[in-house]
Amino acid sequence: MLALLVVSLIWAASFGLIKHNLAGVDPHAVAWARLAIALPLFLPLLRTRQLPWPLALRFAAIGAVQYGLMYVLYIQAYQHLAAHEVALWTVTTPVYVALCSDLLARRVQPRTWAMAGLAVAGAALLSTDQLPTAGQRPTWLRGVLLIQLANLCFAAGQVGYRQLRRRHKHLVDRQIFAVLLLGAVGLTGATTLIGGGYQQLWQLGSRQAWTLVYLGAVATGLGFFGWNWGAARVRPATLAVFNNLKVPLAIAVSIVVFGEQVEWLRFACGGLLVLGTAWSVRRG
């Protein structure tokens, strides 16, 4: 549970960094670069002696969905939604975590759905914007659909990894994580090549370059590894709640670090509900 909390704090700062330091950079190139920077951190740790090809391909497929396809859809959503709207619409991720867990378990777990629902309700209170006007709705709806598909990919990937990892307890997380990143790098690399976004990476300023290095090595590399490591060791209800903990944390970072304004009553109520849900899961 501590690993999920630390990663949530790391990811909370990522929204502001992307918004303030990487505006205008091709989103596909940013996604590929983050994953490509993270990959060398784990390649030296890769051990394939106890990882047969069929199992390795399954882990690579999970990485391609959880990280690669999620990033492609997530970055595309920025073309239709503001950055804070993208962050706020990740509130539905716990629902998809609960749904995927129930589908894999072939049963309905009411407590998991209840905890996920409370976490979504708390995070939804953090939204302060009004619904878009009639003229804005088509592009707004496309953005919402893209981020929902991204949420589904992220939820399905972490639940799939959790189940597959528990079936093969002889494996060590750090020794197989490079396989997941390879699947994600392959997918985002293909989309970046098609879009021609590689050229922009050579034109980055020093501040943008260092931001990209931090996002790749820390937020993507250590963050994704820590998240999957923690996901394999907690219950589905706990995992569902922590998927939304980054929303109030991201708003808090925006207030303290980037000087953004929020509606304090909504922030307090939503944040306390999410944190209270996490505490109740821990106590349970």
Alpha carbons within 13 A on the beta-carbon side of 20: 12
Contact (CB, 8 A) for 153 and 73: yes
The packing angle between helices 27-42 and 173-195, to 10°, is 150
Q: Determine the Cα–Cα distance for residues 237 and 113; give it in Å rounded to an integer.
A: 8
Averaged over successive runs of 10 residues, the pLDDT of the chain (284 residues) comes to 85 78 82 92 88 92 93 81 73 80 79 73 59 60 87 91 88 89 93 83 88 92 85 77 73 69 66 64 54
Distance CA 194, CA 205 (A): 24
Q: Which pLDDT score, from 0 to 100, does residue 281 have?
A: 55
Paired tokens of 273: 């509900």
- pLDDT value of position 254: 67
Half-sphere exposure of 232 (CA within 13 A, CB side): 20
The helix/strand/coil state of 259 is coil
What's the pTM?
0.78
The CA distance from 162 to 270, in Å, is: 28
Residue 185: the pLDDT is 95
Crossing angle of helices 137-167 and 93-105, in 10° steps, is 40
